[in-house]
Amino acid sequence: MIGDGDSFKFHCSTPPWSDRPPFPPRSVESVAASKHSTCLSSSLSFLKLTIFIVITTIHTTITTTTTTIMSTGQIPPGGTYLNTLKRSFTDVPVQADNGNAIPTTEFLEAAESLVSIFDVLGSAAFSPVKSDMLGNVEKIRQRFLAAPTESETLQDLVNNEQKAKENKAGQALLWLVRGLEFTCKGLANNVAAADQELSTSFRAAYDVTLKPHHSFLIKPIFSAAMSACPYRKDFYTKLGDDQDKVNAQLKEYLAALENFVNILKAFLDSKGIKK
């Protein structure tokens, strides 16, 4: 097994040269460099695996509580999975006469509810983004609870936080929006292409949303994990029996979500929150 103690030790130990055919003489520096390169490669592989295991463990821990809170889990007769969400983005108002202000409480509830759809996908591929999104929701909520009268809308929350020379919730909102955009584009890609598998749709979404902001350690994990997405037919079956209704509701939901993503991306950019 990769990362196993014996394997790791073997890669970093001196090879048994006496058992092999003779090689041309090598300098001490060349041998040392080769050993260092092999050890470094093994160390990085071990680190990648460790990071993935830790992230997946976090996901497993939070799944039990979040699924209960965000979704009833029981699709009503004639309904779809979207009907089980505690709060839908289609139900979150946008205050058009107030600079497209978005109410904080309702938005966070809708974001939490969306995360439960990763359980329907049933793939470890989405464990990192699910954990990250829930963590960012909590950071934003903590700011709201600390100053509720100054944080009734997301825009007010960020503006007042910046006045206090802080940026924790603003950064959390930035990464939450990135996670929401990844999810929105992945599902929208799939809805638009009836013959496309989820792995292809989400991989394309990842390339233009989260990938540009991920480190070289995280990118390979996501790239490999996307292949673990369920088959398209299995996923949509879990969303409801009436596939025409599933498609119609999903399109409406994604249109509302895309609108929030666009509003918040423009707002955060105007506030200089980009990294």
pLDDT 10s digit of each residue in the chain, 275 long?
A: 334 444 333 344 444 444 445 545 555 555 555 555 554 454 455 455 445 544 444 444 444 344 444 555 689 888 999 999 999 999 999 999 999 999 999 999 999 999 998 888 876 667 877 899 999 999 999 999 999 999 999 999 999 999 999 999 999 999 999 999 999 999 999 999 999 999 999 999 999 999 999 898 888 877 776 878 889 999 999 999 999 999 999 999 999 999 999 999 999 999 999 87
Give the per-residue pLDDT at 218: 85
Domain assignment present for residue 10? The answer is no
Domain assignment present for residue 40? The answer is no
Domain assignment present for residue 31? The answer is no
Domain assignment present for residue 16? The answer is no
Q: What is the pTM of this model?
A: 0.75
Domain assignment present for residue 28? The answer is no
Structural domains of the chain, count: 1
Domain assignment present for residue 19? The answer is no
Domain assignment present for residue 139? The answer is yes
Give the per-residue pLDDT at 242: 95
Concatenate the DSSP letters of all residues of the chain into one string: -TT-HHHHHHHTSPP-GGGS-------HHHHHHHHHHHHHHHHHHHHHHHHHHHHHHHHHHHHHHHHHHHB---PPTT--GGGGBSS-GGGS--BGGGTSB-BHHHHHHHHHHHHTHHHHHT-GGGHHHHHHHHHHHHHHHHHHHHSGGG-SBHHHHHHHHHHTT--HHHHHHHHHHHHHHHHHHHHHHHHH-TT--HHHHHHHHHHHTTGGGS-TTHHHHHHHHGGGPPPHHHHHHHH-S-HHHHHHHHHHHHHHHHHHHHHHHHHHHHTT---
Domain assignment present for residue 91? The answer is yes
Range of the domain at 209: 47-270
What's the CATH code of the domain at 176? Answer: 1.10.3520.10
